[in-house]
Amino acid sequence: MPGRKLPVTKLILRAGVAALATAALALGPLAPAWASTPTPTPVPVPTPTHTAPDNPWASEPGTGQILGNVYTTVASNPWVQQPVAGATVTAYTINSAGKATAQASVLSGRTGDYLFTNLPAGTYYLKFDKLPASAGRVPQWLMQTALAPHGRSTAVADQASVQEYAEELRIPIVFSGSVSCELCTAPPDPATTSVELWALDYGTTMTRLQAVRPSAAGRYSFASVFPAANSYEVHVVYTGRDSFAKLSSVYVGYAPGSTYPLDLIEARQVSKVAGVDPFFVAQLHANYADFLHRAATDTDVANWSRASEGYDGRAAYLIATSDEARLIRIDAAYSSILNRTSDAGGRLNWLNAIRSGALRADDLFISLYGSQEYFQAHGGTNTGYVAALYKALVGRTGTPSDWSFWAAQIAQHGRAWVAGQFWNTPEATLVRMQADYTYFTGSPARGDEIDEQLTELAVYGEEEFRASLATNGRATLRYHVG
């Protein structure tokens, strides 16, 4: 073939197409397209048979071409690009009814380049399909987004070459989690509850993408979600007659290539209280649910507003340290540690000691873990006792050498001392902190939050720490006032 071969092996910007065409012509005459392409009309839904040809600029009158490149990025370094060879790239036309019809297909070359020639002038949408397993990606359209499921169109003019931007094949996100309802003992009824995923277009337009019913266990999932122009909202929609908000929503960002855990709450609808800020109303209802495990009345809201002078942080502390809340914690400690209900005399003694400041709430737990009753319930041996402490306080079993070490400490210092040491180890403190943090905020502490919250817990103790977590701003997601 006369002339120099010009394989397409790298990204060429749209603006440089004309310059490269001129350079190609300067190298000498090139073979006309009809010499190697006897049939210019693409075959409907063809099977890919070729990679980029030698002459990227040849086209028949009335036709044009599209060239581009496809790649992936490395998870550990998004700046590292890896070409995708052997991907099927199909050019579709889409009619006014939204029906997509395949017009031509090619395979990407070893450097990720692809080229369509002799495409009749028109508007096309490109889809990357039948991807090699090494790509680790799902089929997708050129520049596909949540709001543009077919991606961006490519206009081809008569005898024009269109250079497309290099396309990164992305891993879509999966939103999944559970749906609970405030002050409920079971998941919401799927017959009256649905979960909707909405895309926000730079905060001005919202488009519903998917809607599902949660399972009987309260689970939901949205799969294959591509980026939106901005971000998303997930709505819980209630259509029943109970006192739940008709719409509960949460704003979320986009984390490509991952499963985004998102637990949702079907909010309670509560009434306004005269003279009380609506945020305080929502916060007070959340405090009652978190510490007292019951609903607040409008009278409760008004009384606590006066007692705390409208300061939600003070109201949370007063409720967390009330006799009612402390008795609930005492009962819970007996149930979780000794597996029984508290006796009337014991719970009153503990309440008086904590109320007077002689003991902290932490001391209750340490004392129960160090008790003879707990020791006997776990085999009555030092080894069995230490193994039980590991499981209860740090969430693992420990090793025989761990058990031997702590058994020797029991012989030297006694069980109460060992229980206190376990309770205050960094590992056990982290477990307790994350449990409390998740209970009040809905998710565990991350990053710099971890050290900050560990310091708070160590300095102030469990009771004050829990009170501080109660005013986290999440109350307005759980209670709608109005």
CATH of domain 173-266: 2.60.40.1120
pLDDT at 281: 97
Exposed/middle/buried for residue 326 (C-beta within 10 Å: 0-12, 13-18, 19+): buried
Position 255 confidence tier, pLDDT thresholds 50, 70, 90: low
pLDDT at 135: 77
- How many CB atoms are closer than 10 A to CB 204? 8
Exposed/middle/buried for residue 35 (C-beta within 10 Å: 0-12, 13-18, 19+): exposed
Residue 245 Rama label (left phi>0; alpha psi -120 to 50; beta): beta
Q: Is the pLDDT of residue 279 over 80?
A: yes
Q: Which CATH superfamily is domain 14-168 in?
A: Immunoglobulins (2.60.40.10)
pLDDT at 201: 73
Beta strand 122-129 with 88-94 is antiparallel
Mean pLDDT score across all residues of the chain: 86
Q: Is the pLDDT of residue 12 over 60?
A: no
pLDDT at 230: 62
329 touches 355 (CB < 8 A): no
Please give the average per-residue pLDDT across 413-438, as a whole number: 95
pLDDT at 102: 97
Residue percentage of the chain with pLDDT more than 70: 85
305 touches 315 (CB < 8 A): yes
Least confident of 45-49, 167-171, 180-184, 215-219: 45-49
Position 7 confidence tier, pLDDT thresholds 50, 70, 90: very low
For residue range 308-330, list pLDDT tens digits in order.
999 999 999 999 999 999 999 99
Residues, the chain: 482
Please give the average per-residue pLDDT across 21-40, as a whole number: 39
103 touches 42 (CB < 8 A): yes
For residue range 38-69, list pLDDT tens digits in order.
444 444 544 544 444 444 445 567 789 999 99
pLDDT at 215: 97
438 touches 444 (CB < 8 A): yes
Query: Between the ranges 79-83, 252-256, 367-371, where is the mean pLDDT highest?
Result: 367-371
For residue range 291-305, list pLDDT tens digits in order.
999 999 999 999 999
Please give the average per-residue pLDDT across 149-160, as a whole number: 93
Q: Is the pLDDT of residue 92 over 80?
A: yes
pLDDT at 145: 83
Token pair belonging to 117: 């020639």
Name the CATH topology of 278-469.
serine acetyltransferase, domain 1 (1.10.3130)
End-to-end CA gap in the chain:
79
Q: Is the pLDDT of residue 99 over 80?
A: yes
CA atoms within 13 A on the CB side of 439: 17
The per-residue DSSP string of 189-218 comes to: PTTTEEEEEEEEETTTEEEEEEEEPPPTTS
Q: What share of the chain is helix, strand, coil (3-state, %, to 5)?
A: 35, 25, 40
Examine domains 173-266 and 278-469 and report if their fold is the same: no
Position 132 confidence tier, pLDDT thresholds 50, 70, 90: confident
320 touches 463 (CB < 8 A): yes
Query: Which residues does residue 200 pair with via DSSP β-bridges, in sequence order?
Result: 206, 231
pLDDT at 62: 78
Token pair belonging to 209: 């993408």
3-state secondary structure labels for all residues of 310-362: CCHHHHHHHHHCCHHHHHHHHHHHHHHHHCCCCCHHHHHHHHHHHHHCCCCHH
Please give the average per-residue pLDDT across 165-174, as a whole number: 86
178 touches 261 (CB < 8 A): no
Token pair belonging to 27: 């190298």
CA-wise closest residue to 360 among 471, 472, 466, 470: 466
Q: Rounded to 5 degrees, what are φ and ψ at 129?
A: -135, 170
Q: What is the pTM of this model?
A: 0.69
Task: Show me where the domains of the chain are located.
Answer: 14-168, 173-266, 278-469
Position 10 confidence tier, pLDDT thresholds 50, 70, 90: very low
Q: How far apart are CA 236 and CA 218, in angstroms?
A: 12
Which DSSP state fits 244?
A: B
Please give the average per-residue pLDDT across 437-454, as a whole number: 91
